[in-house]
Amino acid sequence: MDREKITLAGAQETMLATLWSRALDSRSDRSILKDAAARLAVERIDYDFAKTGITPVMAAGVALRGLRIDEWTRDFLEQHPSATVLHLACGLDTRVQRLDPGPLVRWIDLDYPEVLELRDRVIDRPDGDYHSIASSVTSERWLASVPDDRPTAVVFEGLSMYLREDDGRRLIERLTGRFPSGALIFDCQNSTGIRLQKLNRPVRQTGATLHWAIDDPRSLESWHPGLTLQEAQSVVDMPGIEDYPRSGRVAMWIMAHLPGFRNIGQILRYSWR
């Protein structure tokens, strides 16, 4: 089979670093995410993944972050077995394959048209009530096409920091205003992470730019009546850190004790009704 050549750049190209991280993790004897679909997708792509600069420690971090978001999404589906999952900026994330949500769940992946076209060529579409929407996340037109008849989990990974705060706020206000109840599950960076973005090799290599820092996750609660922060998990002390390579465990311990670095990256879970 001919492999797919990549023509993406900027923020879109960073999704290849994330995909490569999950594939590397899947090859480890102590794999955190066990993402066989990511490994298969990598085999179908013609790209020099070495230039992402991803190390085993970085791959473990990406896998652990993905695992926590998967767990929180699974929790929501256990409480709402016929819910909608709206996966924004899905990129080449194989979350729907990992969770295998079953026929009662409506799953919607959203990303730019060129990303979804690549996705369909390198990732097998799942069975069940699965749909995709080709659009920019910040467009105000696509949301009307998503039915509002079920509790809805809105999931996004590696997106918030690429948005400007005004765009992020409008997005969250539209989402929470559209659906009568649901959950927001996503990752973010604080001001330290945004300020030090040039130390993030995938961001630097692709020429992408990070914008939106979230220093106080509770500040978002004022954006919609009933929006409540349920949990904020720092990436430097997530359950599962003990499975990092030793150098990674040491780095996380140091960051956890440095001002500004303790919450340099967080995974957030909100609910509203």
pLDDT at 10: 77
Check pLDDT > 80 for residue 11: no
Q: Which has the closest alpha carbon to 4: 123, 151, 161, 126?
A: 123
Domain ranges, ordered by start, for the chain:
4-272
What's the pLDDT tens digit per position in 232-273? 999 998 888 887 878 888 888 998 888 889 999 999 999 999
User: Which of the two residues, 136 and 199, has the higher pLDDT score?
Assistant: 136
Enter the DSSP assignment of 124: P
Those residues whose C-beta lies under 8 Å from the C-beta of residue 99, and which sit 6 or more positions away, are 70, 73, 74, 77
pLDDT tens digits, one per residue of 84-129: 999 999 999 999 999 999 999 999 999 999 999 999 999 999 999 9
Which of 157, 32, 17 lies closest to 95 in space, CA to CA? 157
Specify the DSSP element, H or E, that contains 78: helix 56-79
Tell me how far apart the alpha carbons of residues 28 and 53 are, in angstroms, rounded to a whole number: 17
Residues β-bridged to residue 63: none
Query: Regarding beta strands 228-234 and 129-134, do their DSSP bridges make them parallel or antiparallel, or are they unpaired?
Result: unpaired
Q: Is the pLDDT of residue 8 over 80?
A: no
Examine the pLDDT at 1 and tell me if it is beyond 80.
Answer: no
| CA atoms of 182 and 230, how far apart (whole Å) | 12
pLDDT of residue 72: 98
Contact call for residues 203 and 272 (beta carbons, < 8 A): no
At residue 7, the pLDDT reads 77
Q: How far is CA 165 from CA 153, 168, 240, in A?
A: 21, 5, 31
User: pLDDT for 61-75, tens place per residue?
Assistant: 999 999 999 999 999
| Residue 9 pLDDT level (bands cut at 50, 70, 90) | confident
What DSSP designation does 6 have? P
pLDDT at 26: 94
18-72 pLDDT per residue, tens: 999 999 999 988 899 999 999 999 999 999 998 888 988 889 999 999 999 999 9
Average pLDDT over residues 213-220: 98
Q: Identify the CA nearest to 91 among candidates 152, 38, 151, 163.
A: 38
- Answer positive or negative: Cα dihedral of 218, 154, 20, 245: positive
Provide the CATH number for the domain formed by 4-272 in this structure.
3.40.50.150
SS3 224: coil
Per-residue pLDDT at 230 exceeds 90: yes
